[in-house]
């Protein structure tokens, strides 16, 4: 039997804007199995990032059920959520979000600082990961010395280092040119073929087509 | 367990790298602490140095733990006498000499008088003394000799000069020369070694003559101004003072409840008196240093708020990667802790430099101890952590989802 990584039922998320309440997610049902490669599509402002933040436990849903690896995360406090993020989620962002004064290697290892601390073995693993992603010559470069595509590859290595249950990439190609986008998507396909669960968001049909499954977000709900 | 301490070390490492990534912020935050800590430690050091110097000089004058002074006239300590003061006599001393704990007594007459030589004329401290004065005060004679029993017996018109007085009145070549005091000529028979100053009291400016001569030729009176009593080692000075006071009260017919017409002063009182002035100054300067530290604390707080604002996306990233609110709190407290470390050590070193410079160019010399490093660091740390608390809390409460979008 295939394990369910994500199980969402009627997840809603609304923001208070002064007097008004704006509902961004209006009842999301979503199941993601282990080993899937899902693309969530939708135009800008439709709530893709909001959904990713809920999936990634950076934010709590206003209502609904969300089980991550079978565990209810909706009632956890901030400390517990940070533990869940650290162990189960590998984030990749549109704008990379690397620490500017740290080297590529240090950036990759950062999630482990918030786990049990980096070991010598971890450093070796990080080195191997970066080598695999074609950055073997740039281990000690800082983000400012790397191209956008290279920075995003460092971010992918950082997402992989902790062996999370799921890789979440919110518009990972949004800041990249065509060639770098292709490269990044190829990497996602590769790591998915190794058995990792990957969820990305995009507003770009061509990017979405690289995934195994596509869901389209429209007006706060999935339409397909 | 090993993982926990490794984690903690690496959390601090993260904070340190963030701190040194902006040296300017570090500089501005540490600057106030450096100034405050340097001011505090150097003031404390110079205060201690002054006190130690006074104690040293007093001990050098044989005015350590087993000696005390009797001053003629009642009143406050070194203030002017508020009673008659013409009652302390050599007969009193003869009685006191019979006390078991008394080793020696050195009575003196003292006055500030016009003194002149062909070269100089100025008001100088003139002291009528017994030969014992030399030993009881541990004076060494640099040239010539001290007052002798023969001088005393024959009311010899001889004098012994303090080092500075000899230099000022005769340019150093004083032996055999004549010095005029109150119209009487005294022959210089000795010059004393250099002793220094206690507060404003210049030990090396004095003219010492035989007490018998000063009674008849200078002051024209029998009563004495003061006497130093050297007690047997190990004597309880408080008890000894009480015994002496009782005898003097009886001899001076002072009834119970009447004010004493004498004062008895112990060395610790002199140290306390001489350091009181510098203590007020020290207290004032400590208040100023304290204000400096509070100001630097406020500066640290404001820069930390600015840093948290500037780094809020990185904070959100750390949270996304698994940093708990507590981890973020530790991260930013560690940054102010690092600032405090730099400021504390820097302040200690600057304080040391200040004390070295002052000790080199002035007669004050500071006592600067490596042990000052700990209170310096402690104070800087308390300041840093106290004022870093609110910014660290703000950082730990940032909403990661909003900031990463
Ligand atoms: N923290 C917030 N407070 C208020 N409104 C928000 C917040 N975050 C997102 N929104 C709103 O939610 C909607 C969806 O935003 P987002 O999830 O970023 O869309 P997408 O990622 O699909 O472009 C937008 O209208 C946005 O203005
Ligand atoms: Mg978005």
User: With bands split at pLDDT 50, 70 and 90, how would you rate the model's confidence at B328?
Assistant: very high
**8 A C-beta contact, residue A222 and residue A215:** yes
| Residue B273 predicted with pLDDT over 80 | no
Helix or strand holding residue A8 (H, E): strand A4-17
**Cα of A49 from ligand 2 centre, angstroms:** 4
- pLDDT tens per residue across span A14-46: 999 889 999 999 999 999 999 999 999 999 999
**8 A C-beta contact, residue B228 and residue B96:** no
Write the residue in A91, A101, A113 that is nearest to B21 by C-beta: A101
Interatomic CA distance for residues B345 and B185, integer angstroms:
62
Task: Report helix angle B312-320 to A78-88, nearest 10.
Answer: 70
Please state the rounded mean pLDDT for residues A173-199: 96
CB-neighbour burial class of residue A208 (10 A; exposed 0-12, middle 13-18, buried 19+): buried
A16 SS3 class = strand
**Cα of B15 from ligand 1 centre, angstroms:** 32
Contact A49 B405 (CB under 8 A): yes
Q: Which positions in chain A have a beta carbon within 8 angstroms of at least one beta carbon in chain B?
A: 49, 53, 56, 58-59, 78-79, 82-83, 85-87, 89, 91, 93, 97, 99-102, 110-111, 113-119, 158, 162
Nearest to B212 by CA among B112, B137, B128, B110: B128
Domain that holds residue A107: 4-222
| Residue B63 predicted with pLDDT over 80 | no
Relative to the CA of A217, which ligand 1 atom is closest? 22
The residue whose two tokens read 């410079």 is B357
**Cα of A130 from ligand 2 centre, angstroms:** 27
B24–chain A nearest CA distance, Å: 15
Relative to the CA of B399, which ligand 1 atom is closest? 1
**8 A C-beta contact, residue A48 and residue A170:** yes
| Residue B1 predicted with pLDDT over 60 | no
Residue B199: the pLDDT is: 65
| Most B CBs within 10 Å, among A62, A77, A99, to test the B interface | A99
A85 SS3 class = helix
Percent of chain A with pLDDT strictly greater than 70: 100
Q: Tell me which residues have their CB within 5 A of the ion that is ligand 2.
A: A 49
Interatomic CA distance for residues A44 and B372, integer angstroms:
62
A1–chain B nearest CA distance, Å: 30
More confident residue, B1 or A49: A49
**8 A C-beta contact, residue A4 and residue A31:** yes
Residue B3: the pLDDT is: 65
Report CA A114 to chain centroid distance, whole Å: 18
| Most A CBs within 10 Å, among B4, B8, B322, B327, to test the A interface | B322
Q: What is the number of residues in chain A? A: 224
| Residue B311 predicted with pLDDT over 60 | yes
Interatomic CA distance for residues B389 and B300, integer angstroms:
11
Contact A53 B401 (CB under 8 A): yes
| Residue B163 predicted with pLDDT over 90 | yes
A94–chain B nearest CA distance, Å: 8
State the ipTM, two decimals: 0.96
**8 A C-beta contact, residue B336 and residue B373:** no
**8 A C-beta contact, residue B225 and residue B93:** no
**8 A C-beta contact, residue A88 and residue A79:** no
Contact A117 B6 (CB under 8 A): yes
Dihedral sign (CA B50, B51, B52, B54): positive
Residues of chain B positioned with their CB less than 8 A from the CB of A89: 320
- pLDDT tens per residue across span B4-22: 789 999 999 999 999 999 8
Neighbours of B163 (CB within 10 A): 21
Instruction: Name which residue sits closest to atom 6 of ligand 1, judged by CA.
Output: A15
Residue of chain A with shortest Cα separation from B11: A113
Relative to the CA of A171, which ligand 1 atom is closest? 21
List the end-to-end C-alpha distance of chain A, in Å, as a whole number: 25
| Most B CBs within 10 Å, among A114, A154, A155, A201, to test the B interface | A114
Interatomic CA distance for residues A137 and B267, integer angstroms:
76
Nearest to A40 by CA among A201, A223, A180, A209: A201
Residue B266: the pLDDT is: 85
Token pair for residue B327? 């981890």
Residue B321: the pLDDT is: 97
Residue A23: the pLDDT is: 94
Please state the rounded mean pLDDT for residues B345-365: 87
How many beta-carbon pairs under 8 angstroms link A with B? 82
- pLDDT tens per residue across span B357-400: 988 887 777 777 787 788 888 888 999 999 999 999 999 999 99
Please state the rounded mean pLDDT for residues A102-108: 97
| Residue B86 predicted with pLDDT over 80 | yes
Residue B386: the pLDDT is: 94
Among A97-106, B33-42, B73-82, name the most confident range: A97-106
| Residue B55 predicted with pLDDT over 80 | no
State if residue A114 touches ligand 1 by the CB under 6 angstroms criterion: no
Contact A113 B7 (CB under 8 A): yes
Please state the rounded mean pLDDT for residues A160-170: 96
Per DSSP bridges, beta strands B67-72 and B262-265 are: antiparallel
More confident residue, B199 or A194: A194
Neighbours of B326 (CB within 10 A): 13
Token pair for residue B394? 């703000």
Q: Which residues pair with B157 in a beta bridge?
A: none
State if residue A220 touches ligand 1 by the CB under 6 angstroms criterion: no
**Cα of A41 from ligand 2 centre, angstroms:** 11
State if residue A43 touches ligand 1 by the CB under 6 angstroms criterion: no
- pLDDT tens per residue across span B207-248: 999 999 999 999 999 999 999 999 998 888 888 999 999 999
Residue A55: the pLDDT is: 97
Nearest to B296 by CA among B14, B8, B36, B25: B36
Contact B7 A100 (CB under 8 A): no
Interatomic CA distance for residues B279 and B292, integer angstroms:
19
Mean of per-residue pLDDT scores for chain A: 95
Q: How many domains does chain A have?
A: 1
In terms of phi and psi (left: phi > 0; alpha: psi -120 to 50; beta: otherwise), the region of B81 is: beta
| Residue B181 predicted with pLDDT over 80 | yes
Residue B282: the pLDDT is: 75
Residues of chain A positioned with their CB less than 8 A from the CB of B10: 113, 117-118
State if residue A47 touches ligand 1 by the CB under 6 angstroms criterion: yes
| CATH, residue A37 | 3.40.50.300
Mean of per-residue pLDDT scores for chain B: 90
Contact A82 B327 (CB under 8 A): yes
Starting from the edge strand earliest in sequence, which strands make up the sheet with A221-222, in order? Answer: A89-92, A166-170, A197-202, A37-41, A213-218, A221-222
Contact A82 B323 (CB under 8 A): yes
| Residue B276 predicted with pLDDT over 80 | no
**8 A C-beta contact, residue B115 and residue B181:** yes
Residue B78: the pLDDT is: 67
Instruction: Name which residue sits closest to atom 25 of ligand 1, judged by CA.
Output: A45
**pTM exceeds 0.90 for this model:** no
| Residue B191 predicted with pLDDT over 80 | yes
- Sequence-distant (≥ 6) Cβ neighbours of residue A223 within 8 angstroms: A216, A217
Q: Which ligand is nearest to the CA of A41?
A: 1
| Most A CBs within 10 Å, among B5, B9, B12, B320, to test the A interface | B320
Interatomic CA distance for residues A44 and A217, integer angstroms:
10
SS (H, E, C) chain B: CHHHHHHHHHHHHHHHHHHHHCHHHHHHHHHHHHHHHHHHHHHHHHHHHHHHHHHHHHHHCCCCCCEEEEEECCECCCCCECCCCCCCCHHHHHHHHCCCCEEEEEEEEEEEEEEECCCCEEEEEEEEECCHHHHHCCCCEEEECCCCHHHHHCCCCEEEECHHHHHHHHCCCCCCCEEEECCEEEEEEEEECCCCEECCEECCCCEEEEHHHHHHHHCCCCCCCEEEEEECCCCCHHHHHHHHHHHHHHHCCCCCCCCCCEEEECHHHHHHHHHHHHHHHHHHHHHHHHHHHHHHHHHHHHHHHHHHHHCHHHHHHHHHCCCCHHHHHHHHHHHHHHHHHHHHHHHHHHHHHHHHHHHHHCCCCCCCCHHHHHHHHHHHHHHHHHHHHHHHHHHHCCCHHHHHC
């Amino acid at each position: 039997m295939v394990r369910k990584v994500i199980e969402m039922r009627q997840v809603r998320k609304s923001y208070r804007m002064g007097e008004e309440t704006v509902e961004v997610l209006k009842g999301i049902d979503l199941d993601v199995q282990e080993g899937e490669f899902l693309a969530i599509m939708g135009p800008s402002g439709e709530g893709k990032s909001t959904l990713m933040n809920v999936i990634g436990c950076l934010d709590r849903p206003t209502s609904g059920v969300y089980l991550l690896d079978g565990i209810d995360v909706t009632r956890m406090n901030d400390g517990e959520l940070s533990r869940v993020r650290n162990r189960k989620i590998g984030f990749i962002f549109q704008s990379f979000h690397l620490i500017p004064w740290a080297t590529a290697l240090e950036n990759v290892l950062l999630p482990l600082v918030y786990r049990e601390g980096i070991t010598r073995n971890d450093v070796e693993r990080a080195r191997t990961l970066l080598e695999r992603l074609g950055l073997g010559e740039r281990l000690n470069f800082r983000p400012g010395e790397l191209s956008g595509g290279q920075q995003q590859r460092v971010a992918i290595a950082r997402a992989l280092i902790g062996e999370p249950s799921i890789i979440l990439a919110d518009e990972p190609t949004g800041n990249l040119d065509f060639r770098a986008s292709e490269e990044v998507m190829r990497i996602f396909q590769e790591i998915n073929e190794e058995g990792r669960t990957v969820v990305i968001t995009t507003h770009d049909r061509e990017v979405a087509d690289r995934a195994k499954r596509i869901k389209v977000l429209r007006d706060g709900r999935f339409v397909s | 367990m090993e993982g926990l301490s490794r984690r903690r070390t690496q959390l601090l490492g993260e904070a340190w790298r963030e701190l040194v990534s902006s040296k300017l912020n570090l500089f501005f935050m540490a600057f106030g602490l450096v100034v405050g800590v340097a001011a505090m430690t150097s003031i404390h050091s110079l205060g201690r140095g002054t006190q130690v110097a006074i104690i040293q000089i007093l001990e050098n004058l044989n005015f350590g733990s087993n000696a005390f002074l009797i001053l003629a006239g009642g009143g406050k300590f070194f203030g002017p006498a508020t009673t008659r003061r013409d009652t302390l006599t050599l007969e009193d001393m003869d009685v006191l000499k019979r006390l078991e704990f008394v080793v020696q007594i050195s009575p003196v007459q003292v006055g500030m008088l016009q003194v002149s030589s062909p070269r100089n004329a100025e008001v100088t401290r003139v002291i009528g003394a017994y030969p014992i004065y030399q030993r009881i005060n541990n004076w060494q004679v640099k040239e010539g000799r001290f007052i002798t029993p023969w001088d005393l017996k024959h009311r010899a018109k001889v004098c012994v000069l303090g080092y500075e007085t000899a230099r000022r009145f005769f340019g150093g070549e004083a032996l055999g020369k004549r010095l005029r005091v109150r119209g009487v000529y005294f022959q210089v028979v000795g010059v004393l070694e250099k002793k220094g100053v206690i507060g404003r009291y210049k030990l090396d400016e004095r003219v010492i003559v035989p007490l018998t001569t000063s009674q008849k030729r200078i002051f024209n009176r029998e009563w004495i101004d003061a006497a130093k009593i050297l007690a047997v080692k190990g004597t309880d000075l408080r008890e000894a003072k009480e015994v002496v006071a009782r005898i003097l009260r009886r001899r001076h017919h002072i009834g119970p409840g009447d004010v004493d017409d004498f004062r008895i002063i112990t060395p610790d009182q002199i140290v306390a008196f001489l350091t009181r002035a510098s203590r007020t100054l020290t207290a004032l300067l400590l208040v100023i240093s304290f204000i400096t530290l509070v100001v630097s604390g406020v500066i640290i707080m404001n820069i930390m708020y600015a840093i948290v604002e500037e780094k809020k996306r990185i904070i959100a990233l750390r949270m996304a990667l698994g940093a708990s609110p507590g981890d973020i709190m530790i991260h930013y407290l560690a940054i102010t802790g690092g600032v405090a470390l730099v400021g504390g050590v820097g302040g200690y070193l600057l304080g040391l430099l200040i004390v070295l410079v002052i000790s080199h160019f002035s007669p004050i010399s500071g006592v600067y101890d490596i042990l000052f490093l700990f209170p310096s660091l402690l104070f800087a740390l308390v300041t840093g952590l106290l004022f870093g608390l609110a910014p660290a809390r703000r950082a730990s409460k940032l909403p990661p989802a909003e900031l990463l979008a």
